Amino acid sequence: MSTFTHIRDGQPSMVDVSAKPSNKRTAVAEVHVDLGADIVSKFENNDIKGPKGPVIQTAVIAGTMAVKNTAALIPFCHTLPIEHCGFEITPRDQGITIRCEVATSGKTGVEMEAMTGAAAAALTVYDMCKAMNKGIVIRDLRLISKTGGKSGDYRAESA
Amino acid sequence: MSTFTHIRDGQPSMVDVSAKPSNKRTAVAEVHVDLGADIVSKFENNDIKGPKGPVIQTAVIAGTMAVKNTAALIPFCHTLPIEHCGFEITPRDQGITIRCEVATSGKTGVEMEAMTGAAAAALTVYDMCKAMNKGIVIRDLRLISKTGGKSGDYRAESA
Amino acid sequence: MSTFTHIRDGQPSMVDVSAKPSNKRTAVAEVHVDLGADIVSKFENNDIKGPKGPVIQTAVIAGTMAVKNTAALIPFCHTLPIEHCGFEITPRDQGITIRCEVATSGKTGVEMEAMTGAAAAALTVYDMCKAMNKGIVIRDLRLISKTGGKSGDYRAESA
Amino acid sequence: MSTFTHIRDGQPSMVDVSAKPSNKRTAVAEVHVDLGADIVSKFENNDIKGPKGPVIQTAVIAGTMAVKNTAALIPFCHTLPIEHCGFEITPRDQGITIRCEVATSGKTGVEMEAMTGAAAAALTVYDMCKAMNKGIVIRDLRLISKTGGKSGDYRAESA
Amino acid sequence: MSTFTHIRDGQPSMVDVSAKPSNKRTAVAEVHVDLGADIVSKFENNDIKGPKGPVIQTAVIAGTMAVKNTAALIPFCHTLPIEHCGFEITPRDQGITIRCEVATSGKTGVEMEAMTGAAAAALTVYDMCKAMNKGIVIRDLRLISKTGGKSGDYRAESA
Amino acid sequence: MSTFTHIRDGQPSMVDVSAKPSNKRTAVAEVHVDLGADIVSKFENNDIKGPKGPVIQTAVIAGTMAVKNTAALIPFCHTLPIEHCGFEITPRDQGITIRCEVATSGKTGVEMEAMTGAAAAALTVYDMCKAMNKGIVIRDLRLISKTGGKSGDYRAESA
Q: pLDDT digit string (tens) for B15-42?
A: 899 999 999 999 999 999 999 988 888 7
Rounded-to-integer distance, Cα E114 and Cα E120, Å:
10
At E61 the pLDDT is 94
Q: ∠F64-F66-F70 over CA atoms, to 5°?
A: 125
- List, in sequence order, every residue forming a beta bridge with F103; answer none if it has no partner: F26, F84
Question: Sign of torsion, CA E72 E76 E77 E78?
Answer: positive
CB-CB neighbours of F2 under 10 Å: 9
Return the pLDDT at F159: 57
Question: Is B111 near chain A, with CB under 8 Å?
Answer: yes
* Lowest mean per-residue pLDDT among A97-101, B95-99, F12-16, F124-128: F12-16
Residue-wise DSSP of E19-88: TSPPEEEEEEEEEEEE--HHHHHHTS---TTSSHHHHHHHHHHHHHHHHHTHHHHSTTPPP--EEEEEEE
Task: Provide φ and ψ at D109, rounded to 5°.
Answer: -80, 175
H/E stretch holding C138 reads: strand C137-147
* pLDDT at position E71: 97
Buried-state track C108-128, b at ≥16 Cβ within 10 A, e below 16:
bbbbbbbbbbbbbbbbbbbbb
pLDDT of B47 above 50: no
The more confidently predicted of residues A72 and B131 is: A72
User: Structure pTM?
Assistant: 0.94
Closest to F138 measured CA to CA, from E25, E29, E15:
E29
Question: From the centroid of its chain, how far is CA D68?
Answer: 11
pLDDT of residue C89: 87
Q: Residue D46: its pLDDT value, please?
A: 44
pLDDT of E46: 44
At F44 the pLDDT is 57
Residue contact A75–B42, C-beta within 8 A: no
Instruction: List, in sequence order, the alpha helices (H) in F69-110.
Output: 70-73
Q: What pLDDT is stored for residue B4 in this prediction?
A: 61
Min Cα distance D77 → chain F (Å) is 16
| DSSP per residue, chain B | --S-TTEETTEE-----TTSPPEEEEEEEEEEEE--HHHHHHTS---TTSSHHHHHHHHHHHHHHHHHTHHHHSTTPPP--EEEEEEEEEEETTEEEEEEEEEEEESS--HHHHHHHHHHHHHHHHHHHTTT-TT-EEEEEEEEEEE-STT--EE-TT-
- Using alpha carbons, select from E102, E121, E112, E143 the residue that is nearest to residue E33: E121
Q: Do C83 and A11 touch (CB under 8 A)?
A: no
Q: What is the pLDDT of residues E85-144, one digit of tens each?
A: 999 988 887 899 999 999 999 999 999 999 999 999 999 999 999 988 999 999 999 999
pLDDT score for C49: 36
Q: Which carries the bigger pLDDT value, residue D45 or residue B11?
A: B11
Q: What is the pLDDT of residue B2?
A: 53
Question: Measured between CB atoms, does B25 come within 8 Å of chain A?
Answer: no
- C93-149 pLDDT, tens digit each: 789 999 999 999 999 999 999 999 999 999 999 999 998 899 999 999 999 999 998
Strand partners, D8: D11
Query: Would you say the ipTM is above 0.90?
Result: yes
Q: Judge whether residue D141 has pLDDT over 80.
A: yes
One-letter amino acid of A130: K
Mean predicted confidence (pLDDT) in F83-106 = 92
Query: Which residues in chain E touch residue D61, judged by CB atoms under 8 angstroms apart?
Result: 58, 61-62
| Catalytic (active site) residue D127 | yes
Instruction: Quote the pLDDT of residue F49.
Output: 36
Whether residue F155 is predicted with pLDDT greater than 90 in this model: the reply is yes
Give residue D12's pLDDT.
80
Give the span between the Cα atoms of A126 and A128, in whole angstroms: 6
What is the C-alpha separation between B142 and B119, in angstroms, rounded? Answer: 10
Neighbours of chain E (3+ CB pairs under 8 A): A, C, D, F
Under a CB-based contact definition with an 8 Å cutoff, are residues B6 and A128 in contact?
yes
Residues of F in contact with D81 (CB under 8 A): 78-81, 106-107
The third-level CATH classification (topology) of the domain covering B22-148 is Alpha-Beta Plaits (3.30.70)
Is D51 within 8 Å of C119 when comparing Cβ atoms?
no
As a whole number, mean pLDDT of residues F144-156 equals: 92
3-state secondary structure of D79: coil
Subunit contact B54:A154, Cβ cutoff 8 A: no
Chain B within 8 Å of D5 (Cβ-Cβ)? no
Point out the residues of chain A with pLDDT beneath 70: 1-10, 44-53, 159
List the domain boundaries for chain E: 22-148
Q: Using N-to-C axis directions, what is the helix angle for A111-129 and A52-68, rounded to 10°?
A: 150
| Residue in B133, B140, B141, B138 with CA at minimum distance from that of residue B42 | B133
**Taking the CA of residue F63 as centre, how many other CA atoms within 13 Å lie in the half-sphere pointing to its CB?**
36
Give the 3-state secondary structure of residue E128.
helix
E64 touches E124 (CB < 8 A) = no
Instruction: List pLDDT tens digits, range D46-92.
Output: 433 344 457 888 999 999 999 999 999 999 999 999 999 999 988 88
What is the rounded CA–CA span in Å between residue C49 and residue D8?
9
| Whether the predicted pLDDT of F91 surpasses 50 | yes
Q: Contact, D6 vs D12, CB < 8 A?
A: yes
Q: Looking at mean pLDDT, say which of B49-63, E10-24, F114-128 comes out highest.
A: F114-128
- Rounded CA-CA distance E45/E47 in Å is 6
Sequence-distant (6+) residues with CB within 8 A of E98 are E30, E31, E32, E33, E59, E63, E87, E88, E89, E118, E121, E122, E125
pLDDT in tens, E42-70: 775 543 334 445 788 899 999 999 999 99
Looking at residue E69, its pLDDT comes to 97
- Minimum mean pLDDT range among A31-35, B146-150, C134-138, D101-105: B146-150
- In the predicted structure, residue B44 carries a pLDDT above the cut 60: no
With a cut of 50, say whether residue D15 has pLDDT above it: yes
pLDDT of residue E51: 47
Asked if pLDDT for residue F23 goes beyond 90, the answer is yes
- Contact between residue A46 and residue A93 where contact means Cβ atoms under 8 Å apart: no
d(CA F107, CA F78): 9
| pLDDT above 50: residue D96 | yes
Which residues of chain E have a CB within 8 Å of the CB of C18? Answer: 24, 83-84, 103-105
